Amino acid sequence: MKKKILSLSLIAIISFACIYSMVTSYHVLRLTNKILIKEALVKAIDIDKDIRFKRLNAPLWIGSIPEDTSEYTTLEHDKKPTVRIKRSNTIKNMGQTEKLNHVLQTYLHSENPVKVISIDSIFNQELQKRQLTTQTAIRYIDNMNGKSVISCNDSAFLKSAYATDTLTYGILKEVSFQGYARVPASFIINRGKSQFLGISLIWLTSFFLLVWWGFASIKPKNNVDIQIPNSEIDEPSNSHLQISEELVLDTKLCLLIKKERKIRLTGQSVQILELLLNSPDYYLKYDELIFILWGKVESKGQERLIQSIKRLRESLKWCPEITIENIRKEGYRLLVKAEQ
């Protein structure tokens, strides 16, 4: 019983640990996909910016304002349009590539504005390059006039899809972008199938080993031959009941012995055989057996007795010399056939 309880406890602990590992792995994969979607959006915005700038085919000079120049002084350089960066702590902390990116977004905001359908298409292509084929959408916000445009008007999709953080560009933060992508659970599971398979194999292996250890090895079956030292059996003992010339019941060791063969019986099976053997004509009524075995006769006593007799009969199949006869509505009789 202790092994059963310990086995069940270990199965419960390992099952909980495996479920927790699967849930944790799933959330880690979801987080990885969120990072992947944001990276695809940043790349799509950058590609779209370059495409819009090339389409202008306009020369552009980008330079810094001299220290002694007023912030709002108009500068010219070879008659080319000049983009000036307003002095601010934010700008000071930017690298040259980041400054250029924001400057071009500011310039393009008025010269060649964003077409939300185009950037959505690029966003979708970038996700496909990352092996994520899914429905997408882009929300574009013009912060100068408060105008917001979205490439998809499917409210059900927008509610179920993953939405990225809002990304803002431009020297004056003129434009903002937000990406939407629906990531199916099957895609996440497929990406982590090796992890999920490994956890499942660990759980199944542990489960079957613990079941075998806790249940299958508790005790041998009644009808299986077992090895008992002959010295223990051959000792003269009051526990030996001679059923026939070659058949002996050892009530102490719970063995039915025939020549060199020894069969283990349950304690209850031995008790029933002993009661029948010690009764006149090897016969006892139902109520007598029930009372001796379980005390006061109860409502389910008959059912319990039937099951006990059934188990005993199963154990006696190898030994045709003895059978248990059911005398309908009366009791049971042990029949011992004469040896040939």
Domain with CATH 1.10.10.10 in the chain: 230-336
The CB-side HSE value for 313 (13 A sphere, CA atoms) comes to 14
Q: How far is residue 78 from each of residues 104, 216, 338, measured CA to CA in Å?
A: 19, 92, 128
Q: What angle do CA 280, 269, 7 make, to 5 degrees?
A: 165
Which two three-digit tokens encode residue 58? 């306009």
pLDDT band of residue 220 (cuts 50, 70, 90) is very low
Dist. CA 312–CA 129, nearest whole Å:
70
230-336 CATH: 1.10.10.10
pLDDT band of residue 224 (cuts 50, 70, 90) is very low
Q: Which residue has the tokens 């020894």?
A: 262
Average pLDDT over residues 313-325: 86
Contacts of 124 (CB under 8 A, 6+ apart): 134, 136
Q: Is the pLDDT of residue 50 over 80?
A: yes
Which secondary structure element, helix H or strand E, spans residue 232, and what is its range? helix 230-234
The type of residue at 314 is: E
The larger pLDDT score, comparing residue 186 to residue 273, is at 273
Most confident of 96-105, 164-173, 184-193: 164-173
Closest CA to 108 of 124, 94, 119: 119
- Counted residue by residue, the chain has a size of 340
Q: How far apart are the first and last CA of the chain?
A: 44
147-150 and 136-142 strand pairing:
antiparallel
pTM given for the model: 0.49
Which secondary structure element, helix H or strand E, spans residue 271, and what is its range? helix 267-277
Dist. CA 123–CA 260, nearest whole Å:
82
Residues in a beta bridge with 148: 141
